[in-house]
Amino acid sequence: MPSYPPREMSEAERRRRAAARARRKKEIRRNRIIFAILCLALLALIVFGMVKLVGLFTKDKDSSSGSTSISSSTSISSSVDSTSEPASSPESGSASTSDAASATGTAATTGGGDADWLLTLVNNNVKLPDGWEETLEIKVADTSTGKELATVAADAFINMKNAAAAEGIDLMLCSGYRSVEYQQSLFDAEKQKWLDKGNSEEEAYNQAKTVVAVPGYSEHNSGLAADIVTPKHQNLDEAFGKTDAAKWLFEHAPEYGFILRYPENKQAITGIIYEPWHYRYVGVENAKAITASGLCLEEYLDENLQKA
């Protein structure tokens, strides 16, 4: 066995070890970079998934007649079917629309002739203004269903229904004004179901929210939202959009002051799935302007608030 001087040997060994250390460091650095990239990719995937989920499960809590395409709301739609809407609506005979306007304030400035209160925004994040119902004047808009709307919207609906009938199209108002009180009773009943299953107060509230709109946050509470179907197709589903009634509405509703509130390509902004049956009264001038702009109500109000 050859013998080397100890100094030379330790020198070679030192170099070898130094090289090995450098290699290890390099390897660790590379592993860290790969790990960071993987983490970022995973994060992006989670965010994408959550956005998709929100889009899938958030919907307008109409469910007052017919079945909906979202299975989670089936329970409430059947329970609402069997429950008649409140007969004792908080009608205020003395209030006029201008009273309502001054009490509810303005949502946006449009420069148009229609009253600004007709553009009041109500959605998942924006609550119906305080005092709204106290000054709201409502009346039956469709005698075949007994459903009510704010008087100004009811008159417009009656005109629209007559015009459609003259062209052989049968429109039917299957849901209109819902009082906040009624919405509250729906919500409480749903929440109780989750409490009975042993959920905490907070859990039950959050679960109920996915099925029934929180009272005051449904556009139907305003009296300006109308779910319109036709006797031959009463289900609130996407297939309604293919009916002659839906096509007629899509083309003519703005002439009577109604806009399609949750268009197919605006789900990310409205937070609500495409609802070919849900129309919102905003007044003729506003309806024509909004429809021509191709914007949904949220976008339209944003633009006009910026201009103002």
The count of chain residues that interact with Zn ion, using the rule CB under 5 A, is 3
Question: What span, in angstroms and rounded, lies between the C-alpha atoms of 182 and 190?
Answer: 13
Which residues neighbour 97 within 8 Å (Cβ) at sequence distance 6 or greater? 115, 117, 137, 151, 152
Catalytic residue among 181, 275, 285, 298: 275
The smaller minimum CB distance to Zn ion, of residues 204 and 275, is found at 275
Of 16-45, binders to Zn ion (CB under 5 A) are none
The smaller minimum CB distance to Zn ion, of residues 66 and 129, is found at 66
Q: How many CB atoms lie within 10 A of CB 60?
A: 27
Of 45-64, binders to Zn ion (CB under 5 A) are 62
For the bound state, the minimum distance from the C-beta of residue 65 to Zn ion, rounded and expressed in Å, comes to 11
**275 classed as catalytic:** yes
For the bound state, the minimum distance from the C-beta of residue 220 to Zn ion, rounded and expressed in Å, comes to 6
For the bound state, the minimum distance from the C-beta of residue 48 to Zn ion, rounded and expressed in Å, comes to 29
The smaller minimum CB distance to Zn ion, of residues 199 and 234, is found at 234
User: Does the protein bind Zn ion through residue 227 (CB under 5 A)?
Assistant: yes
- Determine the interface stretch with Zn ion among 37-45, 72-80, 83-91, 274-282 (rule: CB under 5 A): 274-282
Beta-bridged to residue 139, according to DSSP, are 149
- Determine the interface stretch with Zn ion among 93-101, 128-136, 158-166, 219-227 (rule: CB under 5 A): 219-227
Which residues neighbour 213 within 8 Å (Cβ) at sequence distance 6 or greater? 60, 61, 124, 183, 187, 220
The smaller minimum CB distance to Zn ion, of residues 112 and 271, is found at 271
The smaller minimum CB distance to Zn ion, of residues 62 and 137, is found at 62
- Determine the interface stretch with Zn ion among 14-22, 141-149, 227-235, 284-292 (rule: CB under 5 A): 227-235
For the bound state, the minimum distance from the C-beta of residue 62 to Zn ion, rounded and expressed in Å, comes to 4
For the bound state, the minimum distance from the C-beta of residue 255 to Zn ion, rounded and expressed in Å, comes to 21
Site residues (vs Zn ion, CB under 5 A): 62, 227, 278
Catalytic residue set: 275
